[in-house]
Every structure is written in structure tokens, then in C-alpha cells.
Amino acid sequence: MHAEDVPLPLIAQEVGTPVYVYSRATLERHAQVFRDGLNDVPDKLIAFAVKANPNLAVLKVLQSQGYGADVVSVGEMRRALAAGIAPEKVVFSGVGKTRAELIAGLEAGIGQFNIESEEEGLELAEVARELGLEAQCTLRINPDVDAGTHDKISTGKADNKFGVPISQAGQIFGKLASEGGVNLRGVAVHIGSQLGDLAPLENAFNKLGELVSALRGAGHTITHVDLGGGLGVPYKQGETPPSPAEYGAMVARVTADWGVKLIFEPGRVIAGNAGVLLTRVVRVKRGVKDPFVIVDAAMNDLARPALYGAYHDFTAVEPNGRDMTANIVGPICETGDTFAMGRLCDHLEAGDLAVFRTAGAYGATMASSYNSRGFVAEVLVDGDKYAVVADRIDAGAIMDAERVPEWLA
């Protein structure tokens, strides 16, 4: 098995495992396919959701594709700017932006703040006035639609923490629009992630369209609407989430007469299938029923199965033609550190290499050092060459940042 033209065993040998391996060609292809899907949307900004994969080299690839960045912390903002993304193309989302983050965004001159509450809007206005600046803003709306995805990644139901309730949107918009320091020029929505169906998105966008009309009717000037991200990717063979072309056609139809600039915040659909997690089998342990294939990657490296019960395809790097039914687990001392139970997969033995597929989004970015395992390395492949784009941070380096106070010594 290769990543582009680079054999995965070579990367395993030279960089060690576990390691994330990303493909530049795939990232570029996904960026182009998503943009092509939106050909019928005349005025737009595509801002990659940095939280899906914040690696600097990945951001650089997308910057070269003309992408902006959707960020949810000052750390992500700094990464986007460091990757050369113009501040005007940076959108700052998130329910808990601190005062320091609002100041940092204003001083960097970012293109858009997505305000998530009246309270945040008032604070942003005050801070901007103090700095003698004006924040370009949209108000994020919670449209109260069920995205039909996993509960932990649904963001557009009334009891989720995101945005302002659509029933109060007109009143809050009116209040914030009259504040100095903010130019409230539109609305935003993001209803969830890994959506397998366009219907909830279309429903949310229609509600947003009605709100835009109502706001204009109340005398507001609306020039920008942010439609968020959320398009799903296939994790399992046979899964067929809507394509960027189908998504784009729906968006073009629903928004045809809005007369605004549209902002998109795709994450997973760009990066998900552009990466794998390469791992080595530590040993195979007999079970009562199926054997346990214990790999050197764990829930601290790839959290999605433990967090959401997520499925990742698992295949041998050098299949021997046989298969087995096995439980795929990591070394961490938690039963949650299980990638799959009773999975029919390639036959594997101690020392063999395997990959978890579709690991380019919400993979390395969610890594932790639980069990003092250190942080996983990342590699970017480009044709027949590759580079380590994030060093492995070993447990010793993390321990070096800790101190035992003198009064304990």
C-alpha cells in the first residue's frame, strides 16, 4: 500500500508508528471538487474549518487553493495566519471567545466574527470601540433543526449551545446592529457535522432565507450569509453521503435570489479522506471468542471511535490474502480504547502494518497524551516525496514541562 507514490512501510520504518499520513494531491482534489460544486454561487468565500485538521502544512496546501479559514480559537487563528491565509479570509466562530481572543481577532484585522450570543456581541462592540476599530460580523442563528447526525456533533437544535434562537434573532440583531464598533452585516448557521442527507441543511437554509427577508424588511442591510460546514464523507464502503456537486446545486437553488456573499466552512469533506493513521500490530492476543489485534495506535491518537462510536475502515498495508474476525484495540487502559469489535478484516500478525482510513479530519487534532503516550507524528506525501510535518512529541518532552514544587521535594 502506498500514499501517492510513497510506500507506507518506508514511512513506518523512517518515522515510526503510529503516524498520520496525508496526501497533498487528495487535499487539492477535494478543495477543487468542493469549489467546483459551488460554481453556480457567484460571490463566495470558502473557509476551511481549521479544527478538522490544523496542521500548518495542510493549511498551506489549502491556502494555495485560495481557501480562507474558519477558526474557533486564537490558536487556530494564529495557525491560519502563519500558513499565509489573509486575515480578510479568516472567520472566527465559537461560543466562548474570550475578551483576549476578541482583541486578537480585531488587531489581526480578520474578515468576520460569527457572534454566537447577544452578550458576546455587546462585548465585541465595546472592545472594538475601545480599540477604535470596527468588527465585521454575522449573527449565528440556531435554526432548531435536527441534523440527523451523532448527538455530540449536532449543533443546530434548540437545546444546543450554539447561536441565538431563531425566534429571538430579529430582536437581538436589531439591538446589536445599533451598537457602534460592530458592522453587523449578515447571519450564519452551522447545524452539525458528518451530515448524510441534504434535507436538514436545506431546511436550515430556507429558515435563514426567511430571516434575511424579515431583517431586510426591518430596515437592515444584509450582505453576507455564512452557511457553515457539515457535509459528510463515506467512512464505510457503500456509504454515499451527498456529493459537493449535489450540495452546491441545492445551495445555488435555495440562495438564488438572496443577493449576498456566501461563506462556506467545510472541514471533514476536505480533509477526512486525505489521511490515514498508520499503525503497527504489537501482538495478537487470544480471546474467548475473537482474537484481539492490539495495535500501537490508541484512543489518544484517534479519539473518534471512543468519542462517537465512529467506524474507521481498517486494512493491512501488505495483505496476505487471508482474513480474520477480530477485535481491534489499542494499548490504553480503558475499554473505550477499542476501534472495532468483531470486525472482519485482513489477517494480521504481530509486527504487521495496518491503516485506519478516513483519518485526515478530527484525527491528530484531537490527540492527547493520555497514558503518557506522547503526541503522534504527522507526515505529508507529495508524489514520490514526503516530509514529517509534525514531530512526534514523546512522553519525556511532556514530562519536561512539569515541575515538582520545592515545598514537596
Ligand X SMILES: *Cc1c(COP(=O)(O)O)cnc(C)c1O
Chain contacts with ligand X (rule: CB under 6 A) = 49, 51-52, 70, 72, 93, 190, 193, 228-231, 265-269
Within a 10 A sphere around the Cβ of 316, how many other Cβ atoms? 20
Q: What are phi and psi of 96, to 5 degrees?
A: -125, 40
Which residues lie closer than 8 Å to 156 by C-beta, 6 or more apart?
A: 142, 143, 144, 145, 146, 147, 162, 163, 189, 190, 191, 192, 200, 204
* Amino acid making up residue 215: L
Of residues 282 and 366, the one with the C-beta less far from ligand X: 366
Q: Which of 302, 321, 322, 320 is nearest to 312 (CA)?
A: 302
Of residues 153 and 354, the one with the C-beta less far from ligand X: 153
Report, in Å, the least distance between residue 195 CB and ligand X: 7
The DSSP call for residue 16 is -
Report, in Å, the least distance between residue 93 CB and ligand X: 4
DSSP string, 281-349: EEEEE--SSSPEEEES--TTT--HHHHH-----EEESS--S-EEEEEEE-SSSSTT-EEEEEEEEE---
Report, in Å, the least distance between residue 362 CB and ligand X: 7
Catalytic residue, from 288, 333, 404, 408: name it.
Answer: 333
Of residues 51 and 280, the one with the C-beta less far from ligand X: 51
Report, in Å, the least distance between residue 54 CB and ligand X: 12
Of residues 135 and 353, the one with the C-beta less far from ligand X: 135
Of residues 72 and 294, the one with the C-beta less far from ligand X: 72
Q: Which of 22, 74, 66, 26 is nearest to 47 (CA)?
A: 66
Of residues 17 and 193, the one with the C-beta less far from ligand X: 193
Q: What are phi and psi of 73, to 5 degrees?
A: -160, 165
**In degrees to the nearest 10, what's the CA dihedral of 112, 115, 118, 121?**
-40
Report, in Å, the least distance between residue 376 CB and ligand X: 20
Report, in Å, the least distance between residue 360 CB and ligand X: 11
Which residues lie closer than 8 Å to 130 by C-beta, 6 or more apart?
A: none
Report, in Å, the least distance between residue 70 CB and ligand X: 5
45: helix, strand or coil: strand
Q: Is the Cβ–Cβ distance between 379 and 392 less than 8 Å?
A: no
**137 a catalytic residue:** no
Residues paired with 284 in a beta bridge: 293
Residues paired with 22 in a beta bridge: 275, 380
Q: How far apart are CA 305 and CA 55, in angstroms?
A: 21
Q: How far apart are CA 30 and CA 24, in angstroms?
A: 10
Within a 10 A sphere around the Cβ of 395, how many other Cβ atoms? 13
Q: Which residues are catalytic?
A: 333
